[in-house]
Chain A
Amino acid sequence: MEILSFIANNWQVILRLAGEHISIVAVAVGLAILTGVPIGIAITQNRRVADAVLYVASIIVTIPSIALFGLMIPILSKIGQGIGWLPAVIAILLYSQLPIVRNTYTAITNVDPALREAAIGMGMTPFQRLTRLEIPIAIPVIMAGVRTAVVMNIGVAAIAAYIGAGGLGVLIARGISQTDPRQLITGALAVSLLAIVADWALLRLQKRLTPAGLKR
């Protein structure tokens, strides 16, 4: 009851924090798509490079987020951005690389070799093959990677409240420091809800982007 009245009295604040939260994740994952998809495609050319890149991406994910924020403070302080929005975005950008790069790489390498042979035999250039055949076929798997990245990093973004990035993590952090269960629970609920809604929305998007011929 207390929590409901807290939400009712503070919904404007909660919405603002949710907006901040979304902006961090959206910008970071958006940039991660712009970098991760081309990387995933590029590494299909060379098996050893692919293994190395995926290995590095895996290692990045194993770094605890709080440690990663700590590492970035001295580096980004040099441009006056040691804490706040930028390090949060960079951390999420890095964490998102693994699911996006790996899914892109897997999807492209798994395109049926017969399709590739047909495409080459018909006289498609490598670029035409990529844009007309391989990427459309890879879209569902790439989108699945994006979903993983978004859901995973909505959680990471909550921790970014500790470096002053804002977002729903602010409620959790305050709840802990002020021993206020209302804020703590509201923050946690909002983060979970955001993750669920984002996953659902992206699933819808994934289905829309999947070429009709590939739908079951």
Chain B
Amino acid sequence: MIRLEDLTKRFKTPGADIVAADRVNMEVPTGEICILLGPSGCGKTTALKMINRLIPPTSGKIYIDGKDTSQLDDIQLRRNIGYVIQQIGLFPNMTVEENICVVPRLLNWDIRKARQRAADLLDLVGLDPRQFLRRYPKELSGGQQQRVGVIRALAADPPVMLMDEPFGAIDPINREIIQDEFLKMQAELKKTIMFVSHDIDEAVKMGDKIAIFRAGRIEQYDTPDMILAHPANAFVADFVGADRTLKRLRLVTAEEVATTEVPVTARSTKVSDALQQLTVARARRAVVIDSDHRPVGFVTAEEMAGGSGEVRDFAHPLPATVPVRADLRAVVSEMFAHDTMWLACTDDHGRFAGVITQPDVTAALRATYGAGKGASDQARQQGSGRDQGAP
């Protein structure tokens, strides 16, 4: 757990004092990722760097797991906090192994234990230790370097990690991959993480909570869905973007929305039996599956009405299928691409896992709006106290 209490930073410059962080109060529960989000110069990085005292706070308190960190000396404090920066900062004179072992060695770990840890961590991010331990940073691609940067911060198993735009310098394709990997890792490791970003999409994807900063103050601190559905004020609404409802599509997976109670039928089923089945189910169409339960097509009641023979004679191919793990943005994108109102979903083995329709998607978005109503009023009140009020 990280708790910030009235954390304030004033810089003296010739002319005027600049308040980079103004009485910041927030708490990140153990095992959660909190994204500090905002435009450049909003104080998010200052707030982050005050936690490991790269920037000394002017006033206020920082607690880690309930302990007041002002009681610790700088060096001890930093060795117990993982730190990842955008520029990665791998030491070019050290091998990958030596880089990962830096903090364990500073903490006087046994060299064999530190090396074992380095190998394990490389494995964790899918880099073969035999191949990578002895390499130098310049021999790695940008994505590999950033993976090593992240595991270097994890090496001494700190309970808390600070990440300053860690994936900012990576190309968009690799960034997505590394973000996914990191989330998978975090699901196991459950670190308490403060993560600075200026990218709302990244924040929505990575964050359990998002704190939106402006001019050294927190404008709103809430879950991604609440921030997108109920921005506390005009600034937040503007910052998250006019397409914020579309961004919320990323927060829901197809699995949560798909209907599984859909009639399915085999290609060899008699048309009369299929029609019977549709009538009983009060459905207009059935999904055709093969012997491995994979969706291969669909039939409609209208077309089969009065017909004879087997289902295969009336079956249409499916325009596309989506994995149930896909988020709704991908689902909607497929729907638009194939000009269809519905799509069949498949599980990890390609088996039929339900159907998702456009009304299902809009209903899912509406549900979150409704559910968040009470909390949103609260958020608005908090926001309006210091800003121009609700949009």
Contacts and interface: CB of A to CB of B under 8 A. Distances in A.
Interface of A: 112, 114-115, 117-125, 128, 132-133, 136-137, 211-214
Contacts of B89: 112, 114-115, 117-119
A114 B88 contact: yes
Contacts of B153: 122
B363 interface: no
User: Taking each of A112, A128, A213, which has the highest tally of chain B beta carbons within 10 Å of its own beta carbon?
Assistant: A213
Interface string B73-89: 01111111101010111
Contacts, number: 75
B179 interface: no
A121 B54 contact: yes
28 contacts: A112-B87, A114-B85, A114-B88, A114-B89, A115-B89, A117-B54, A117-B85, A117-B87, A118-B91, A120-B54, A121-B52, A121-B78, A122-B83, A122-B102, A122-B153, A123-B74, A123-B76, A123-B78, A123-B80, A124-B106, A125-B75, A132-B102, A133-B93, A211-B92, A211-B93, A213-B94, A213-B137, A213-B138
Interface of B: 52, 54, 74-81, 83, 85, 87-95, 102-103, 106, 136-138, 152-153, 162
Contacts of A112: 87, 89
A120 to B, nearest CB: 6
Interface of B is mostly: mixed
B315 to A, nearest CB: 59
A16 B18 CA distance: 69
Nearest to A213: B136
B106 A128 contact: yes
Contacts of B162: 121
B93 A136 contact: yes
B27 to A, nearest CB: 22
Contacts of A214: 92-93
Contacts of A118: 83, 85, 87-91
A115 B103 CA distance: 14
B76 A115 contact: no
B54 A122 contact: no
